Structure 1
Amino acid sequence: MSNPAEWKSDNQRNEEDLSSDSNGKKPQKLRRYDSLDIESAKVGGSHGHGFQQAASWAVILQLAFQSIGVVYGDIGTSPLYVYASTFPGGIKHSDDIVGVLSLIYYTLTLLPLVKYVFIVLRANDNGNGGTFALYSLLCRHAKVGLIPNQQAEDRDVSNYRLELPSTRLGWSSKVKSALEKSRAAKFVLLFVTMLATSLVIGDGICTPCISVLSAVGGIKAATPAMTEARVVWISVAILVLLFSVQRFGTDKVGYTFAPIICVWFSINAGIGLYNFVKYDPTVIKAINPWHIVGYFRRNGKEAWVSLGGVVLCITGTEALFADLGHFTVRSIQISTCTVTYPALILAYSGQASYLRKHPLDVSDAFFKAIPSPIYWPVFAVAVLAAIIASQAMISGTFSILQQSLSLGCFPRVKVVHTSAKYGGQVYIPEINFILMLACVCVTLAFRTTEKIGNAYGIAVVFAETITSSFMVLVMILIWKKHIILVITYIVVIMSVEVTYLSSVLYKFPHGGYLPVAFATVSMTVMYIWNYAYRKKYYYEMDHKVSPDQLREIAANTNLCRIPGLAIFYSELVHGIPPIFEHYAANIPALHSVLIFVSYKSLPISKIPPEERFLFRRVQPKELYVFRCIVRYGYTDARDEEEPFERTLAERLKAFVREEFWIDSMRQKNKEDSIEKEAEASEEGIKNGDEDRDDPATQGAEGVNNEELEEEMAVLDKAWRGGVVHLMGENEVVAGKGSGIGKKILIDYGYSFLRKNLRQSEKVFDIPHRRLLKVGMTYEL
């Protein structure tokens, strides 16, 4: 929130900007702040990544510990079912085990470790990850976005600017130019972003089902009384409990889960090392990738089909990136390299050693390989770990949906920030409930891990392949890497993912359709909302109230001004929305001060508080009508500690003070010659810090203090008169002559979503007692 001390320092900085340079050689040109840039120009701006860079080692290690409980549960429980899914028909040759282990070694090394931990995490957006983070980076560097509310002033936000390599490769510029000129390419980028987001949601549904079912199913090996039906219903009960605790937030959930997952990784590493030494240490020869070639030679098509089981060893890898906003790059790198990766390598090696001696146990390899004295303790930890495994994708789902919501690609839902310390930790109640219902239904319908595994792989590999495609564009357009490095990434990383994708698609008829069905539903919702959002915005742009119309409205003798301050909300950032004219025609009364507020989301993660508000006065001055744009990043919280209206009023006062000071400086410089101006400016710099307290009220010559005091008195009186929140209740319908497709999207699809999801005043926490809605129909 603003305070007088902040206003003073801000004005002093601007005074220095408007004075001569430090050498007194050449006076700087005075700028008139007649656009919405007065606030954004005040901060010199650092290019830092906020929390990501500011975190101390103590905090990084703390977050590394938390990340173990949140991020790695999914990939950490993969040893429960990988070998069983890879060999559904049994092991035909002893060397096949070594071939599969070699595949697991190199898959874990190339994709989670090399690709995500050391490459993809670097492509974060001010510390936030996920597909929308990559999309936002591309939109900021190239004009490929379809979000219609861009402004030139947005690039003055310190976090908006990117630190780019100084060298410009010719082929990089050509690719950028081609993308910017192609509207089809822009639609494809947005479409693929929505698809990847939808696939991660599908992954978040499959993960809890397969993890919990596989762990609970282990009890069948100990007692025949545990039937499949009982396993299913116990799994359902556990899933309901898991989603019920999500409201406590990632912070508390992470601290609760991290010790359990640490114990789980320790058990896996210990049992793996024990089995490796006891049964067959020669499986270490799987380090030689030639065994992969031998495996494919012996099995042909069956080996290719089995890749759909091998790829399950990297389930949850996308959560490394999607959950980045909850933690930091360094914390995830530390936890992966020191805990997760070594433990998984030992776990798979130990199971392979056991299966070399007991190949018939492949369908239940994990539990069969447990030494009998510790079976029940390990089983208990396995069930707990399977419950926690779901946390990674659930948290990732919340994060990416928050991003898509802020960028106009998802209907309004309430985002609850569960940690005051870490801004990226969020919880979405509606989505949590929908995910719970979907998980319960999938568990009851599929009932076995083998069937769910067929569905699981498609969501995992498809999402990772899309991430790699975006990374290629990031390497070309933003990092400007040499073509050799880009080709190397495609050959080494993407070729592996495409191979796995071809295998999992083979299982589409056997359950693989499930995540595709979920993704289709999610994408339909996203597309309908984004389509109507863009159409509605352009309608308001075409029908906005012009300055002449506003003066006519204000000059209307039937229109009276009543005491108070009115805040009129709109999504339009380039003018006054048409609903205002509709309001004035039906209610011939305006409050003494009127502020048109537009909430705007930028394609960056965070906006510094001092750069959040942009003001502009609507002429003529005596109308006391202002426009304000409140800018948020896609991870910024909108439920401020102080009431929004108070923050807005104080920022407005700061704007008016600064506006008066700038006007006075302009007037003064018009009257003086260039030489006198230079001398006066140099003298002002020398004496400014000693003689000034607040330049807006007592510093510069020519300031009409009486006029400023009168302006402040009007604002204070309006504040004391009460604040009223005015919001447009727009009925959106397809215009006459629209095609059948457009009518279905707008009249039925968008209308259904809008009526059944959270309304704007609930999202923005607007007080109901002082809310007035104004209805109007938009024909798009």
Structure 2
Amino acid sequence: MNPQSLTDPVLAPQGRSTKYLLLLSLSALGVVYGDIGTSPLYAIRECFYGEYGVPPVHDNILGVLSLVFWSLILVISFKYLIVVMRADNEGEGGILALMELVLPNSKKWYHGMVLVMGLFGAALLYGDGMITPAISVLSAVEGLNVATPLFKPYVIPITIAILLGLFVLQRKGTGGVGKIFGPIVFLWFLVLAVLGVSAIIKNPVVLEAMNPYYAVVFFQLHGAKGLLVLGAVFLVVTGGEALYADMGHFGRLPIRLAWFIMVLPCLVLNYFGQGALLLDHPELAVNPFFHLAPAWALYPLVILSTFATVIASQAVISGAFSLTYQALNLGYFPRVSVLHTSERERGQIYIPQINWLIFAATVGLVIGFGSSTNLAAAYGVAVTTTMVITSILAFIAMRKLWKWTTPLAVALTVFFLILDLSFFGANILKVAEGGWFPLAIGGIIYLLMRTWMSGRRVLKSMLRSLTPPLSSFIQGLTNRHYTIVEGTAIYMTGNPKTTPPALALNLQHNKVLHEQVIIYSLKVEKVPHIMNRNKLRVDEIAPRFYRVVETYGYMDKVDIEQSIKALQQMPATLKLHDVTFFIGRETLIPSRDVGMKDWQARLFAALTISSQRATKYFNIPSKQVFEVGTQVKI
């Protein structure tokens, strides 16, 4: 971790101009804050018109607005923007990045606990990530119903068509999408502020809601029911985890600038404007946001809000891409196709399989739930769980990384947990109404991640038992008969100290060795990026035998073809000519007496089959590849 990032967070990244910083801030506005920025469409409505809503009378309105205001200040501004985002892994954020930062040595007693919390928290984000596009776009298109009921039969088809366009656009990458969407969201936030101010001027008494006294009074009035309303209030902060995950796309400073200068003031003005409207017209609680607009502006507002909700979905989709890529490179996820969409910003990627899986689930939610009000019941359960986990992991970061005193770390963590558990308690009551969906999705993805991680560990153990240490193999060559053939053989292996099975099998069955043998291993560090000059290490371990270890960060692009070109230019005795890559290809045979449960072994075998071929993922020249197969019991 860069200590500069903890001590001087307001400095612009070196080598980046003010113009480029402002461009990143505008792009961040379009990608990172779409989710939080469209909450005004439905959050206040759910507090007063939803299933657990309270009557829109004076004390209730000021109480809800106070809860909304202080939720934005304490959860987003303080917890995420000021504290949690300090835990960046060389600029990369998200719960997996945080987990890797604080993950202790495997011998520590709490290693397994941190690992389980991190993986489960990450898995839960996929569930809420599927709900965000559905509820955001639906709530915007439903604005047409305010103008006329004639549009009601077409709300769902229009929503699905808009979602399709959004997911098709993902191929352009978050940077490209951000440049398109940034100005639109900038306009959206300006409109939020204007609509809010126009109503506040007529009823400025709502500004008193900034006093937390009204939040306290609200709970005194409503008791347990106040907790149910808190579940609707939580809708204003649901983009917090996606915001943290998107940090690697744009950087911490542009995200902070966008929030404090633009996003937060505009959101507060609009929420308070809706409250001011309801003070005079409580009957408009069915859709207070669209009723803020004059009649002539309704259709333009629906169009603008539709664009804004499309952008809202972008935040969680790009966050899912980042999360998947981190999990993949850290060994928690099978290989999938990853397209890097920017040469300048390494964190900007597109993953087709994840993109279309989220699209399919989102369309299913739109059809299945039918309205944004119904979807609101499913929203928030999973992300509140992830927020609780983030607070616990942040405590370890406070002590382990930042060296804060125990009393300070405990006090801050307890404060965060009080906030998180309050929202968690309010949302867990929604499980039966739809909250089960994101929990189910999270559980399935967690199961896949744990199965893949456990299967890889068992497979490595079995392969290690089938072959001797590399040093023993080389020493034993003097007692074996074989033919030396021309060229360079590169044997890909996960453990550079163990004999690659492909090497042992090639010698055993074909009785040949190349005149130059390279044991090539890829090592992924717990940092997002590795400088090019530190990536390759070459050691001559015996005459004609070389060990090459290439180190990557978990957000770096792996490209073996480029690495070989770099290797050829290094001043070393290693000279590459007539290169052939030897890759092991294991056929997995589930077996009850090896180490994995039968169902888990079968699942791991299925995941292995569906995993992208190593030659394509690592960009190994396909015409130079020779695969050596073997059967392995797992």
Equivalent position amino acid for 2:128 in 1? D
Alpha-carbon deviations, 1:384-429, whole Å to 9, x = none?
Answer: 0011100001011101111111110001112211000111111111
Equivalent position amino acid for 2:283 in 1? L
| CA–CA distance in structure 2, aligned partners of residues 484 and 347 of structure 1 | 38
Q: Which residue number in structure 1 is paired with residue 75 of structure 2?
A: 111
Equivalent position amino acid for 2:118 in 1? T
**Pick aligned residue for 2:105 from 111, 130, 143:** 143
Query: 2:32 touches 2:246 (CA, 8 Å); kept in 1?
Result: yes
Q: Which residue number in structure 2 is paired with residue 168 of structure 1?
A: none
SS of corresponding position for 2:584: strand
Q: Which residue number in structure 1 is paired with residue 556 of structure 2?
A: 636
SS of corresponding position for 1:456: coil
Closer/same/farther in 2, CA of residues 460 and 105 from structure 1, 3 Å limit: same
Matched ranges for 1:210-225 at <5 A: 210-225=135-150
Q: Which residue number in structure 2 is paired with residue 742 of structure 1?
A: 597
Query: 1:51 touches 1:127 (CA, 8 Å); kept in 2?
Result: no
| CA–CA distance in structure 2, aligned partners of residues 93 and 625 of structure 1 | 80
Q: Which residue number in structure 2 is paired with residue 565 of structure 1?
A: 488
| CA–CA distance in structure 1, aligned partners of residues 272 and 489 of structure 2 | 68
| Cα shift at 1:772 | 0.8
Matched ranges for 1:89-488 at <5 A: 89=53, 91=55, 93-139=57-103, 142-144=104-106, 180-182=107-109, 185-227=110-152, 229-278=153-202, 280-488=203-411
**Pick aligned residue for 1:71 from 12, 32, 46:** 32
Alpha-carbon deviations, 1:494-520, whole Å to 9, x = none?
Answer: 211110101100111010001001101
| Cα shift at 1:242 | 0.5
SS of corresponding position for 2:513: strand
Alpha-carbon deviations, 1:218-252, whole Å to 9, x = none?
Answer: 0011111112x421111111111100010111111
CA RMSD of aligned residues (A): 2.0
Equivalent position amino acid for 2:137 in 1? V
| Cα shift at 1:581 | 1.2
SS of corresponding position for 1:455: coil
Alpha-carbon deviations, 1:514-554, whole Å to 9, x = none?
Answer: 10011011111111101111122233344443323323236
| Cα shift at 1:556 | 2.5
| CA–CA distance in structure 2, aligned partners of residues 441 and 374 of structure 1 | 32
Q: Which moved more, 1:443-452 or 1:99-108?
A: 443-452
SS of corresponding position for 2:55: coil
Alpha-carbon deviations, 1:252-292, whole Å to 9, x = none?
Answer: 100000000000000000110011112x1101111121111
Is 1:607 aligned with 2:530? Answer: yes
**Pick aligned residue for 1:772 from 615, 626, 632:** 626
Closer/same/farther in 2, CA of residues 201 and 52 from structure 1, 3 Å limit: farther
| Cα shift at 1:735 | 4.6
Q: Which moved more, 1:563-572 or 1:533-542?
A: 533-542
| Cα shift at 1:90 | 5.3
Alpha-carbon deviations, 1:418-454, whole Å to 9, x = none?
Answer: 0001111111111111111111111111111122111
Alpha-carbon deviations, 1:173-196, whole Å to 9, x = none?
Answer: xxxxxxx431xx222211111111
| CA–CA distance in structure 2, aligned partners of residues 505 and 466 of structure 1 | 15
Equivalent position amino acid for 1:725 in 2? F
Alpha-carbon deviations, 1:628-653, whole Å to 9, x = none?
Answer: 1111101111247x6332223334xx
| CA–CA distance in structure 1, aligned partners of residues 608 and 562 of structure 2 | 26
Query: 1:52 touches 1:126 (CA, 8 Å); kept in 2?
Result: no
| Cα shift at 1:736 | 5.7
| Cα shift at 1:347 | 0.6
Alpha-carbon deviations, 1:322-378, whole Å to 9, x = none?
Answer: 001111111111111000000001010100000111111112111112122322221
SS of corresponding position for 2:515: strand
Alpha-carbon deviations, 1:641-670, whole Å to 9, x = none?
Answer: x6332223334xx343xxxxxxxxxxxxxx
Query: 1:458 touches 1:505 (CA, 8 Å); kept in 2?
Result: yes
Equivalent position amino acid for 1:133 in 2? A
| CA–CA distance in structure 2, aligned partners of residues 301 and 466 of structure 1 | 25
Matched ranges for 1:493-572 at <5 A: 493-546=416-469, 547-553=471-477, 555-557=479-481, 559-572=482-495
| CA–CA distance in structure 1, aligned partners of residues 352 and 2 of structure 2 | 35
Alpha-carbon deviations, 1:659-682, whole Å to 9, x = none?
Answer: xxxxxxxxxxxxxxxxxxxxxxxx
SS of corresponding position for 2:593: coil
| CA–CA distance in structure 2, aligned partners of residues 466 and 600 of structure 1 | 28
| CA–CA distance in structure 1, aligned partners of residues 604 and 328 of structure 2 | 15
| CA–CA distance in structure 1, aligned partners of residues 135 and 592 of structure 2 | 50
Q: Which residue number in structure 2 is paired with residue 687 of structure 1?
A: none
| CA–CA distance in structure 2, aligned partners of residues 220 and 47 of structure 1 | 53
| CA–CA distance in structure 2, aligned partners of residues 339 and 729 of structure 1 | 53
SS of corresponding position for 1:225: helix
Equivalent position amino acid for 1:254 in 2? G
Equivalent position amino acid for 1:437 in 2? A
| CA–CA distance in structure 2, aligned partners of residues 554 and 647 of structure 1 | 33
| CA–CA distance in structure 1, aligned partners of residues 13 and 448 of structure 2 | 33
| CA–CA distance in structure 1, aligned partners of residues 97 and 263 of structure 2 | 25
Is 1:725 aligned with 2:600? Answer: no
Q: Which residue number in structure 2 is paired with residue 647 of structure 1?
A: 566
Q: Which moved more, 1:576-585 or 1:116-125?
A: 576-585
Query: 1:52 touches 1:329 (CA, 8 Å); kept in 2?
Result: no
Closer/same/farther in 2, CA of residues 425 and 498 from structure 1, 3 Å limit: same
- 4+ residue segments displaced more than 4 Å: 45-54
Query: 1:90 touches 1:360 (CA, 8 Å); kept in 2?
Result: no
Query: 1:639 touches 1:765 (CA, 8 Å); kept in 2?
Result: yes
Q: Which residue number in structure 2 is paired with residue 156 of structure 1?
A: none
Closer/same/farther in 2, CA of residues 488 and 48 from structure 1, 3 Å limit: closer
Equivalent position amino acid for 1:742 in 2? K
Equivalent position amino acid for 1:643 in 2? Q
Q: Which residue number in structure 2 is paired with residue 763 of structure 1?
A: 617
Query: 1:566 touches 1:594 (CA, 8 Å); kept in 2?
Result: yes
Query: 1:459 touches 1:515 (CA, 8 Å); kept in 2?
Result: yes
Identical counterparts, % of pairs: 32
Q: Which residue number in structure 2 is paired with residue 590 of structure 1?
A: 513
| CA–CA distance in structure 1, aligned partners of residues 226 and 189 of structure 2 | 29
Query: 1:543 touches 1:577 (CA, 8 Å); kept in 2?
Result: no
Q: Which moved more, 1:722-731 or 1:71-80?
A: 722-731
| CA–CA distance in structure 1, aligned partners of residues 424 and 410 of structure 2 | 19
Alpha-carbon deviations, 1:430-488, whole Å to 9, x = none?
Answer: 11111111111111111111221111111221222211111011111221211232133
Q: Which residue number in structure 1 is paired with residue 8 of structure 2?
A: none
Q: Which residue number in structure 2 is paired with residue 674 of structure 1?
A: none
Query: 1:545 touches 1:577 (CA, 8 Å); kept in 2?
Result: no
Query: 2:131 touches 2:379 (CA, 8 Å); kept in 1?
Result: yes
**Pick aligned residue for 1:60 from 14, 18, 21:** 21
| CA–CA distance in structure 1, aligned partners of residues 21 and 478 of structure 2 | 57
SS of corresponding position for 1:593: strand
SS of corresponding position for 1:596: strand
Equivalent position amino acid for 1:270 in 2? V
Matched ranges for 1:691-706 at <5 A: none
Unaligned runs of 5+ in 2: 6-10
| CA–CA distance in structure 1, aligned partners of residues 144 and 440 of structure 2 | 32
Say how many residue pairs are matched.
Answer: 625
Between Structure 1 and Structure 2, whose CA radius of gyration is higher?
1
Closer/same/farther in 2, CA of residues 616 and 60 from structure 1, 3 Å limit: same
